[in-house]
Amino acid sequence: MAKILLEGLEFFAYHGYHKEERKTGNRYNVDVIVEADVMSAAIHDKLRETIDYAKLYQTVKEEMEQPAKLLEHIAHRINQRVLQQFPQVKAVEVQVSKFNPPLGGVCRRACVTLREERK
């Protein structure tokens, strides 16, 4: 079993609990870790036998384009899409971060991490 990580994916998106956040938008960071058996790809050097990073990125990008109120909801949606679109993935962990969240004080970013396994 291998872990494949896409780290530091950055997006400008329109998420947030408050209506104003969904109107003005903010910067977000997403990290994705997938666990999959990629030994065949390691041996044969074939892209079709592993997780295509570009397709994984596109999946995350599409979910980030859909507004949501909560970081938890975004992470769950990404996890579900990854499990749906990549049958070789056994588990996926996503961390979604919002830069400079409106908390009334200094906070570089707020993060939520969710891990889901294939049943």
Contact 74, 96 (CB under 8 A): yes
Name the nearest CA neighbour of 13 among 66, 53, 49, 55.
66
Residue 98 designated active-site? yes
In the set 23, 90, 98, 119, the catalytic residue is 98
H helices of the chain, in order, are: 19-24, 39-44, 53-64, 71-85
| Whole-angstrom distance, CA of residue 93 vs CA of residue 113 | 7
Question: What's the residue count for the chain?
Answer: 119
Name the nearest CA neighbour of 28 among 92, 113, 100.
100
Tell me which residues are annotated as active site: 98
